[in-house]
C-alpha cells in the first residue's frame, strides 16, 4: 500500500462495496423506468390544474377524412411549432384520386404543406379526398422494440417519444416504422417524429395541428376521461386504423376512411 492510498479497514471496504451495489441497483431501476422518468422531466400541468400525472391519461388521436380540405394549415403549424426542417414532415396530407376503373393515385406535393391544385372530377376520376397522416403512436410499436439504445419509448399515457440525448441516429426505427412517420434530422442526426405536441397536451393545450385546422378534421381525446367528447365519438361512430394486419394497435384513428387508403 503506497503512502497516497488511504488505510482502509475491512469495514470500510464492505461499506464501499455496499454503496457500489446500491448504486448499481439505482442505475438499473432508472433504466427500467426510463420512459416514465423522461416523461416526468418534461411534464407540464394537469388538464384543469395541478401536476400532470401520466397514469391518469390515455391519449387517442382522431382524423375525420370527410372534413379535411387539404389546405396544409396543419403541416405548416407543425413545422413552426416543432422546428421541422424544410422538406421533412412530422405530419403530412395525401390526396387520393379514384378512377372509374378503381385505379388509385396518391399525391402529396411537399407533404401537402402548400395545399393542392384544384381537382376537377370527370369521367375518369370519380372520387377525390384528402388523408392527413402522422405517427400512429402504436401500442405495440416496432420502432420502440428495435431501438438498440432505448431512445424510443412509450409513455404511461400512450405517446411514443424519442430521447434525442440517447439516440445514436442508426435509423433502425425509421426503417421499422410501417407508417413512414420517422426521419433522421438533417442537422441533429437523430431520429425525430410527431410527438402529439407532448409539451402542449400535458399542459391542457391542443396540438399545433389541431389548433390550426380550420374545419376541425383533427381531434385528440383522453380515454380515461369519462366526459371526453372525442371518446364519445369513437364509441358511437365507426372508426378505422391504418394497416390493421400489422397488429401494432395504433392510437390514431380515422373517421370516413375508404378502403383505398393505405
pLDDT digit string, tens, across residues 131-140:
999 999 999 9
Which pLDDT belongs to residue 100? 87
Q: Across all residues in the chain, what is the average pLDDT? A: 85
User: pLDDT above 90 covers what percent of the chain?
Assistant: 73
pLDDT tens across 53-62, in order?
Answer: 999 999 999 9
Distance CA 230, CA 26 (A): 40
Prediction pTM value: 0.79
Reported as a pLDDT band with limits 50, 70 and 90, residue 44 is very low
* Residues recorded for the chain: 262
Distance CA 208, CA 219 (A): 11
Asked if residue 149 has pLDDT above 70, the reply is: yes
pLDDT tens across 89-100, in order?
Answer: 999 999 999 998
CA-atom Rg of the chain in angstroms: 23
Tell me, which fold does domain 43-91+133-262 have in CATH? Alpha-Beta Plaits (3.30.70)
Taking phi over 0 as left and psi of -120 to 50 as alpha, with beta for the rest, 26 belongs to alpha
C-alpha cell at 215: 374545419
Domains of the chain, by residue range, sit at 43-91+133-262
Amino acid at each position: 500500500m503506497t503512502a497516497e492510498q488511504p488505510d482502509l479497514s475491512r469495514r470500510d471496504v464492505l461499506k464501499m462495496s455496499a454503496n457500489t451495489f446500491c448504486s448499481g441497483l439505482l442505475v438499473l431501476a432508472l433504466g427500467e423506468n426510463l420512459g416514465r422518468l423522461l416523461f416526468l422531466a418534461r411534464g407540464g400541468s394537469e388538464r384543469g390544474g395541478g401536476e400532470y400525472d401520466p397514469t391518469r391519461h390515455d391519449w387517442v388521436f382522431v382524423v375525420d377524412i370527410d372534413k379535411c380540405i387539404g389546405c396544409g394549415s396543419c403541416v405548416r403549424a407543425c413545422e413552426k411549432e416543432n422546428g421541422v426542417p424544410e422538406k421533412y414532415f412530422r405530419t403530412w396530407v395525401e390526396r387520393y384520386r379514384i378512377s372509374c376503373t378503381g385505379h388509385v393515385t396518391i399525391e402529396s406535393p411537399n407533404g401537402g404543406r402548400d395545399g393542392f391544385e384544384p381537382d376537377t372530377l370527370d369521367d375518369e376520376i370519380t372520387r377525390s379526398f384528402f388523408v392527413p397522416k402522422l405517427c400512429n403512436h402504436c401500442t405495440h410499436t416496432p420502432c420502440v422494440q428495435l431501438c438498440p439504445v432505448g431512445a424510443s419509448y412509450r409513455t404511461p399515457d400512450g405517446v411514443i417519444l424519442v430521447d434525442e440525448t440517447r439516440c445514436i441516429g442508426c435509423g433502425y426505427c425509421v426503417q421499422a416504422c410501417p407508417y413512414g412517420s420517422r426521419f433522421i434530422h438533417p442537422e441533429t442526426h437523430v431520429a425525430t417524429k410527431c410527438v402529439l405536441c407532448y409539451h402542449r397536451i400535458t399542459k391542457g393545450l391542443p396540438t399545433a395541428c389541431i389548433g390550426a385546422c380550420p374545419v376541425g378534421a383533427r381531434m385528440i381525446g383522453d380515454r380515461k376521461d369519462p366526459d371526453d367528447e372525442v371518446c364519445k365519438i369513437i364509441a358511437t361512430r365507426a372508426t378505422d386504423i391504418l394497416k390493421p394486419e400489422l397488429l401494432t394497435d395504433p392510437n390514431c384513428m380515422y373517421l370516413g376512411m375508404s378502403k383505398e387508403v393505405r
